Amino acid sequence: MREIVIKITDNDKNTLKKIKRYLRYDQKYSIKLEIESKSNPNLSKIKEVVEAFNIKDIRERYSYIYDTVCTYLDNEFKKKKLCDFKNNQCIAVRNGFYCNSNHGCCYGPKRGKCKNLVNNKCKIKSISCKLFTCRYLKKNDIKFVIKDIPLLNLFFNYKQKYIISYSIFVDKKEILEKLIKSK
């Protein structure tokens, strides 16, 4: 396997594009980063993409991507308090955008409380649920799109991106199987 060395400088905006060129031949190459600047704003995203690139087993690679993106999304919601629960009601419910519920969008007027919500915690890991933001958040420009998340944008084709977006209520294991079949 050939090793490609990629240097990270202060403002190199093309590193992800460079890596994308090698993705077609990903089983022939590995990537080594030479980090000359730690102030590159994309450094952590580049590191994650390189980590995924260097995992040659597809199941393992998808699992790494899945977990890394889920952690990123969990942290964004938590750090920025996007759903801003107060007295058990999220900001969308408090503003009348969602039905009166203590469970935010894990509750629907017709479907009721999601069966995966147990003791106020989701017992599965659905990347589609984690990517979802409701009408209220979207109205306030809070949304997550696949093209802005390099790990999802670079490693998956159109059909796989559809699966990632629309597998609400579906657990990691099942989504991974679908992604592998659609490679």
Binding site for ligand SF4 (CB under 6 A): 83, 90-92, 98, 104-106, 114, 116-117, 122, 124, 126, 129, 133-134, 136-137, 169
* Closer to ligand SF4 by Cβ: residue 63 or 104: 104
Q: Extract the tokens encoding 128.
A: 């589609």
The smaller minimum CB distance to ligand SF4, of residues 95 and 157, is found at 95
Which C-beta is closer to ligand SF4: that of 52 or that of 93? 93
Q: Which residue is nearest to ligand SF4 (CB)?
A: 104
DSSP bridge partners of 4:
31
Q: Phi and psi dihedrals of 50, rounded to 5?
A: -65, -40
Collapsing DSSP states into helix, strand and coil, what is residue 115?
coil
Count CB neighbours of 21 within 10 A.
9
139 vs 183, beta carbon nearer ligand SF4: 139
Rg over alpha carbons for the chain, rounded to the nearest Å, is 19
Residue 160, Ramachandran bin (φ over 0: left; ψ between -120 and 50: alpha; else beta): alpha
- CA 174, distance to chain mean position in Å, is 16
